[in-house]
């Protein structure tokens, strides 16, 4: 093994805070699930599969799934379009599936014939995306599945896979994975994130996780690595759920807009923009990031249902982004204290503390009562309209904010109230 072992890793890990800085400020990213599974899109032999379309191959023999390479031809793929949509949505980074559990590589891989070069498309999708990201100043990350249903050395096998395991060698599989990752981390410029998945079949020792991560840090010194290769690494990745509160570890919730990660023709239950915005705010109030997924079609197009919602989020962020990007979490002990919505905070360079009250449900009375805040802000106003001044009054041990004069500026998603506290008069808190 060419492992350089502990010392180098320990050194790189010590600058975690610096490497994570851009990511902590970014708050919002785009997850893209794209692969051979985007072609059948949840349908096999005329049967609709309602689950995750990228899991459809789990029940299909490798020899049959492989044939999809003949049909993978996303001629409408335009990397600039994807990146510009992410920009419009207010997303600051993109993480894309370089290889999902199906094992198919979306780049021109020298380590495998099961890649874009085996399709009529023959274009290096990762290269085009990396170049578009560079053009539009977008950070790019690689999702990479450790689990591989195609490679003959991957173990354990699925029940439907009848190939002999006599010659299979998991350590050789890891060498293959390492070779593929080396390509991805060498030939595509700066890569901001390495997002492992499917590491649950084995422990870190069998994955040679230290060695793999060490190589990643060596090839991309500023990279950050998620927690799914059997080691905690730089940040945690709760899936399809938002934690109840803040955490000592950096974290990112990844979530679908609809019922599948990969494009599924039968997709249902599309979350509306309001729910997605409130999720972003909820997550920001707990100090996390939101990695929101889109699944482009077999033609390479992000479905309009997703694109429309992303643009709506972008419009909200256009006005309210200052209460999300670069903020810290809530000053309240738990969301039980903010039944009216959520809270984020910002310390400005001149020592001012900005407390953003994200009012989801505008109180039916004419005031918002905050018993936990011990002193009056120097100023209170709406983020959407600095001239819409609000009056704050002492009320018992806490404060009360008069909302009557700004009622017309209220929106049904999240109306952001800003409380400004100068340095001389810090926020006191019960």
What torsion do the CA atoms of 200, 201, 203, 205 make, to the nearest 10 degrees? -130
Nearest CA among 390, 430, 429 for reference residue 409:
390
Is the link from the previous residue into 156 a cis peptide, with omega within 30 of 0?
A: yes
Stretch that binds ligand H79, among 48-56, 278-286, 309-317, 357-365 (CB under 6 A): 48-56
Closest approach of ligand H79 to the CB of residue 254, in Å = 5
Give the chain's count of helices (H) and strands (E): 10, 17
**CB of 238 vs ligand H79, minimal distance in Å:** 11
Rounded least distance, CB 89 to ligand H79, Å: 19
Backbone angles phi, psi at 316, to 5 degrees: -65, -45
Residue from 49, 52, 65, 149 binding ligand H79 (CB under 6 A): 52
Interaction between residue 104 and ligand H79 (CB under 6 A):
no
168 backbone dihedrals φ, ψ, rounded to 5°: -70, 140
Cα gap 303→32, rounded to integer Å: 12
What's the CA gap between 261 and 250, in Å, rounded?
23
261 binds ligand H79 per the rule CB under 6 A: yes
Pick the closer one to ligand H79 by CB: 261 or 290.
Answer: 261
Closer to ligand H79 by CB, 231 or 292: give it: 292
CB of 307 to ligand H79, least distance (A): 20
- Residue with Cβ nearer ligand H79 (24 or 158): 158
Stretch that binds ligand H79, among 7-15, 50-58, 215-223, 300-308 (CB under 6 A): 50-58
Nearer to ligand H79 by Cβ, of 55 and 210: the residue is: 55
Identify which of residues 253 and 323 has a Cβ nearer to ligand H79 in the complex: 253
**Residue 197 near ligand H79 by CB under 6 A:** yes
Q: Quick check: 55 binds ligand H79 (CB under 6 A)? A: yes
Chain-centre distance for alpha carbon 336: 26
User: Does 51 sit near ligand H79 (CB under 6 A)?
Assistant: yes
CB under 6 A: which stretch of 12-20, 52-60, 270-278, 308-316 binds ligand H79? 52-60
Q: Is 34 in the site for ligand H79 (CB under 6 A)?
A: no
Q: Is 66 in the site for ligand H79 (CB under 6 A)?
A: no
Please count the CA atoms within 13 angstroms of the CA of 413 that sit on its side-chain side: 18
Q: Is 54 in the site for ligand H79 (CB under 6 A)?
A: yes
Q: Which of 254, 255, 406, 413 binds ligand H79 (CB under 6 A)?
A: 254
342, 281 contact by CB (below 8 A): yes
Taking the complex as a whole, the smallest distance from the CB of residue 19 to ligand H79 amounts, in Å, to 22
Closest separation between CB of residue 120 and ligand H79, Å? 25
Q: Is 413 helix (H, G, I), strand (E, B) or coil?
A: coil
Mapped onto helix, strand or coil, the DSSP state of residue 2 is coil
Question: Rounded distance, CA 306 to CA 216, Å?
Answer: 32
- What does residue 170 show for φ and ψ, rounded to 5 degrees? -60, -35
Interatomic CA distance for residues 313 and 298, integer angstroms: 25
Q: List interacting residues with ligand H79 (CB under 6 A).
A: 51-52, 54-55, 197, 239, 254, 261
């Amino acid at each position: 093994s060419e492992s350089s072992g502990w010392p180098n890793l320990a050194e790189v890990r010590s600058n975690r805070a610096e490497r994570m800085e851009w990511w902590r400020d970014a708050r919002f990213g785009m997850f893209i699930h794209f692969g051979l599974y985007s072609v059948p899109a949840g349908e096999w032999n005329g049967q609709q599969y309602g689950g995750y379309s990228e899991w459809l191959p789990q029940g299909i023999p490798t020899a049959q799934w492989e044939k999809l390479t003949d049909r993978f031809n996303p001629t409408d793929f335009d990397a600039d379009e994807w990146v510009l949509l992410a920009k419009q949505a207010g997303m600051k980074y993109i993480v894309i599936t370089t290889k999902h559990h199906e094992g198919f590589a979306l780049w021109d891989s020298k380590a495998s014939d099961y890649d874009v070069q085996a399709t009529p498309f023959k274009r290096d999708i990762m290269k085009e995306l990396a170049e578009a990201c560079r053009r539009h100043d977008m950070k790019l990350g690689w999702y990479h599945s450790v689990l591989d249903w195609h490679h003959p050395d991957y173990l354990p096998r699925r029940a439907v896979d009848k190939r002999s395991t006599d010659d299979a060698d998991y350590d050789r599989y890891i060498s293959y994975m390492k070779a593929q990752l080396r390509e991805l981390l060498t030939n595509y410029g700066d890569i901001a994130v390495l997002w492992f998945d499917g590491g649950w079949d084995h422990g870190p020792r069998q994955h040679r996780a230290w060695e793999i991560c060490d190589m990643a840090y060596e090839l991309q010194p500023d990279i950050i690595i998620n927690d799914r290769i059997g080691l905690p690494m730089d940040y945690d990745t709760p899936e399809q759920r938002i934690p109840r509160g803040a955490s000592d570890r950096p974290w990112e919730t990844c979530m679908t807009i609809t019922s599948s990660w990969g494009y599924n023709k039968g997709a249902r239950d599309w979350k509306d923009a309001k729910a997605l915005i409130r999720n972003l705010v909820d997550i920001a109030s707990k100090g996390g990031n939101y990695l929101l997924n889109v699944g482009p079609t077999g033609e390479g197009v992000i479905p309009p249902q997703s694109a429309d919602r992303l643009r709506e989020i972008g419009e909200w962020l256009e006005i309210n982004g200052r209460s999300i990007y670069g903020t810290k979490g809530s000053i309240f002990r738990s969301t039980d204290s903010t039944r009216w919505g959520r809270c984020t905070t910002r310390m400005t360079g001149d020592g001012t503390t900005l407390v953003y009250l994200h009012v989801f449900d505008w109180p039916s009375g004419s005031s918002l009562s905050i018993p936990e805040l011990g002193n009056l802000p120097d100023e209170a106003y709406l983020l959407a309209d600095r001239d819409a001044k609000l009056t704050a009054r002492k009320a018992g041990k806490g404060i009360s904010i008069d909302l009557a004069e700004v009622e017309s500026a209220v929106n049904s998603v999240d109306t952001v109230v800003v409380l400004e506290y100068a340095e001389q008069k810090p926020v006191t808190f019960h």
